[in-house]
Amino acid sequence: DTEVTQTPKHLVMGMTNKKSLKCEQHMGHRAMYWYKQKAKKPPELMFVYSYEKLSINESVPSRFSPECPNSSLLNLHLHALQPEDSALYLCASSQERARRLAGGSYNEQFFGPGTRLTVL
Amino acid sequence: GENVEQHPSTLSVQEGDSAVIKCTYSDSASNYFPWYKQELGKRPQLIIDIRSNVGEKKDQRIAVTLNKTAKHFSLHITETQPEDSAVYFCAANPRGSTLGRLYFGRGTQLTVWP
């Protein structure tokens, strides 16, 4: 299995709602990432988990709360979001350590299809 | 941290022509440079990558070149086809970044006209 999956594909929520985004991978990757992407802009790193521990938080507002319950799952809990938080939320995974991998790829990040979030 | 600049921001070519996208990076310690293609509404997908111990890498119609001295790398697409139309992002991964952290360029919207 060489895929990262994300649910839901689309999410519309009000500013008072609480919702969660889910990400799953079964490639044995121990680094998992959340990115936010606005239209025609590069992915913007939010959080990085390494061995289920939060390693990087790019000064993301507390209304976004990540969780890594096990090595295959990554969640992003959303609460009291603003309309400007509307974006494509991408999950990605990679080997935890940069090293030569079979086939020559080097710490490739595999992206999920994303969740298109609209905050009303 | 690393700073990646990407040019041009938009590129239009006729089908069959070549397309070149250029990126520069600031951190001389960066050692891994992937290129991602993102079609409208889809996920970024790795199309080719290069490591700092290699100057050029080719995969069918796609090639990437790296000049470590000048700190720039380029994507070359030959014999372009309409299905090559997408946004292309370059990225750099600093050495020692064991988490595989990527710094992205701002993207190039490539349009290939039939």
- Per-residue pLDDT 10s for chain A (120 aa) are 668 999 999 999 999 899 999 999 998 888 899 999 999 899 999 999 988 999 889 889 999 999 999 989 999 999 999 999 999 999 999 886 545 444 444 568 899 999 999 999
Beta strands in A26-86 (DSSP E): 31-37, 44-50, 53-57, 64-70, 73-79
Q: Residues A91, A95, A100, A104: what is their CA dihedral angle, to the nearest 10 degrees?
A: -30
Name which of B33, B112, B38 is nearest B71 in CA terms: B33
CB hemisphere CA count around B106 (13 angstroms): 7
Q: What is the pLDDT of residue B47?
A: 95
A55 CB within 8 Å of a chain B CB: yes
What integer pLDDT is reported at residue A104 of this predicted model? 41
The 10 Å Cβ neighbour count of residue A35 is 25
pLDDT digits 0-9 by tens, A54-67: 988 988 999 999 99
pLDDT at residue A30, rounded to an integer: 87
What pLDDT score does B65 carry? 96
pLDDT score recorded for residue B18: 98
Please tell me the predicted confidence (pLDDT) of residue A96: 67
How far lies A46's CA from each of A64, A81, A92, A114, B79, in Å? 9, 15, 11, 14, 37
Test B93 with A98 for CB contact under 8 angstroms. Answer: yes
Nearest by CB to A105, from B36, B49, B102: name it.
B49
Shortest CA gap B114–chain A (Å)? 23
Q: Quote the pLDDT of residue A105.
A: 43
Q: How far is A113 from chain B (nearest CA, A)?
A: 5
pLDDT of B83 strictly over 90: yes
Mean pLDDT over the full length of chain A: 89
Note the pLDDT of residue A102: 44
How far, in Å, CA of A83 to CA of A86, rounded? 6
> Is A90 in CB contact (< 8 Å) with chain B?
yes
Note whether A39 and A50 are within 8 A (CB): no
